[in-house]
Amino acid sequence: MFDVTKLEWTREPADVSIGPDKIEIITKPHTDLWQRTYYHFRNDNAPVLQMKTGEKFFSFVVKTEFESKHRFDQCGVVMYLDSENWLKASIEYENEEIQHLGSVATNHGYSDWATTAIDASVKSMWYRFSRREDDFCLECSTDGERYSQMRVCHMWEAGDEIRFGIYACSPEDSSFKATFTNMDITSCQWPAHDGQQPDVE
């Protein structure tokens, strides 16, 4: 069973409920994670709840349910190392028709954002965060069984010990409830690469 007592806040929301099988966060307005790229602003005040590990090969799974209703409302999985180095996956509400299912990798103070549009009626999503040393894979699933790859990336500051977990935020003037369940840590579900061999240095 996933041990919620190992989770620690980087920033704690004003309204939260933590049980052994479920975590509920009520977001505060004007909370976000973003660094510089394109928009040129820097936001670093989203609530982040994580645990530490030095394990180099593992996967973390979580199911999210959300009542988002305002532009950019979001919740999902995160690896927050510090304000300039972090990785997240979530659904960001856009309008009554679409949302953005996507991920952000932030290295050395610059964020990117890779997304795909999905229907605004989607109110639940599973995420799987997998680590292979300092490389990472983010996946999503509608049923917790069949996962689709969202991103493979390298994180420059992901050394021996990392922190990973969940987050929720509302970048604009809004608030919503995010619910996290079915959290689990397993052996690494991201298979070792079996194709082209590494270059010989």
Q: Kindly report, residue by residue over 120-167, the tens digit of the pLDDT.
A: 999 999 999 999 999 999 999 999 999 999 999 999 999 899 999 999
Its pTM stands at 0.95
Q: Are 183 and 2 in contact (CB under 8 A)?
A: yes
Residue with tokens 């799974």: 61
- Confidence band, pLDDT 50/70/90 cuts, at residue 169: very high
Give the C-alpha separation, 93 to 170, whole Å: 10
Q: Are 91 and 191 in contact (CB under 8 A)?
A: no
Q: Kindly report, residue by residue over 51-107, the tens digit of the pLDDT.
A: 999 999 999 999 999 999 999 999 999 999 999 999 999 999 999 999 999 999 999
The dotted CATH code for 4-186 is 2.60.120.200
